[in-house]
Chain A
């Protein structure tokens, strides 16, 4: 009954081809800046552009702000829903599905309409951008934290802590946060990957983030965009690898996000 699974191997190899060929092509392409030989010239040029650093810096800053806001919104909510208000769960999950129903372009449209003129002008500040990022990352942050809470049965832990006389601060510091460490870090990594790679919000709201920067050099130059793409891929890969390494042993979750 053990025949060689030819079909399976075939599919695996085809699948791997499809995945790897674009990557290899991009790397190969990025090395061909100077005619005739392979060099890292494209990377050198990329690193020499001051706007590379400024746009990367901006995105990094906004990524951190997004992470903080997202955590502050999600963690208490996930905790209270789990512990006290299970009836709210469907509503919360509905909210986390909304960003999918309202894609980025559509949301921007609505945001600009609503908050683009007095008295509530948000769109001239990065606030609108951050809002967009938070909306994008919300579903994944919530799912990550929720799964983490469920995995450690936070309700029982909290009750045990309370019966031992712990106050709120102790419970948060010594019971909740340590057990959520992995889930929180996963959510943060993912948010980071999302924001760094994001294009739609930044471009349409005209902010000098990393995404629009890549697009801009793409329309002006050759080879360098591919070099930056390789680096962007490396960052994505490291973030996801970080998440998977953190979550080793835990049941797998599908984390997909980012610009499409």
Chain B
């Protein structure tokens, strides 16, 4: 047998004509095809995500009539109404993040590992999926119907306890009321993210722990909690960011009345009296800054969580 004749035809780069599949090996023509495939995506991202962000950054240092200034940045830290807006936003975000994380975790635990029947888990997860998307304007109105002046719960409490909670000073149009509403989409989100993490706690770890003499306490303290902590914290951070960037729900409640960062920026866009684009930019920048830290924290914790679950 003549071995030379048996050598497979050399795979030279074939011409890519219209309609033929590109060759398996990357090659000059195929490369331009490939880049064309992803170019629109990145072009879009650059035009409509990065450039606006950069523009915000740049213009934060712009004075009202043009020119460089640090005053806007300084104003963020010094002007009391802006500081209080940030304070309020941060407070609401922190409270709903912690509350959502705590209650959401307990709920996730109850349906995943708590000994409840299987249907409870799938039902709760489906419903969490829906609830975490039910936000914004309709949610605001739903809570008006629940805890507002003519709300169902208000009336029920009046019927049972004979007290008008609104006369007693309760209102949903303040910090606590808003927090209660935000929780509606915060803690389902926690349930949705924690459920798979809890499922990831392998049964053998629990059994190995018991086999070595450990009780439930030992398992949670030494094994489960350390493993779950990155996901827990990461999700809490996610919840924080989620609440911090929220706008529609708060606006639907009280228009521009509530002093939140998002609301103030929104007012700037709509041509507020104190129209100072530089300031609006600076506040927007402040938001980007805070959200970036949030996302970095989340990403770092995600990586730590992934380290152990192979």
Contact = CB atoms under 8 A, between A and B. Distances in A.
Direct touch of chains A and B (CB < 8 A): yes
Interface of A: 5, 7-9, 11-12, 15-16, 18-19, 21-26, 28-30, 72-74, 76-77, 79-81, 84-85, 88, 91-92, 95, 97-114, 131, 134-135, 159, 161-162, 166-169, 171, 193, 197-200, 203-204, 211, 214-215, 218-219, 222, 225-226, 228-229, 232-233, 236-237, 240-241, 243-244, 251-252, 254-260
Contacts of A159: 24
B241 interface: yes
B278 to A, nearest CB: 11
Given A95-B41, A218-B141, A232-B138, A21 B153 contact: yes
Contact of A77 (B41, B48, B133, B281): B41
A22 B151 CA distance: 9
B37 A106 contact: no
B114 A8 contact: yes
| Chief secondary structure at chain B's binding surface | helix
Interface in B28-78: 30, 34, 37-38, 40-42, 44-45, 48-53, 55-56, 59
A245 B44 CA distance: 32
Across chains A and B, which 4 residue pairs bring their CB atoms closest together, nearest first?
Answer: A110-B52, A259-B136, A8-B114, A103-B245
A257 B107 contact: no
Interface string B145-159: 110001111000000
Contacts of B196: 251-252
B184 to A, nearest CB: 7
B127 A197 contact: no
B141 A226 contact: yes
Interface stretch (B3-11, B80-88, B217-225, B262-270): B262-270
B52 A171 contact: no
B23 to A, nearest CB: 8
Given A8-B115, A240-B133, A25 B153 contact: yes
A97 B255 CA distance: 29
B148 to A, nearest CB: 9
Contact of B142 (A26, A100, A114): A26
A237 B184 CA distance: 15
B262 A5 contact: no
A31 to B, nearest CB: 11
A260 B251 contact: no
B59 A113 contact: yes
Contacts of A197: 133, 135-138
A204 B193 CA distance: 31
Contacts of A236: 130, 133-134
Contacts of B241: 100
B138 A101 contact: no
Contacts of B24: 159, 162
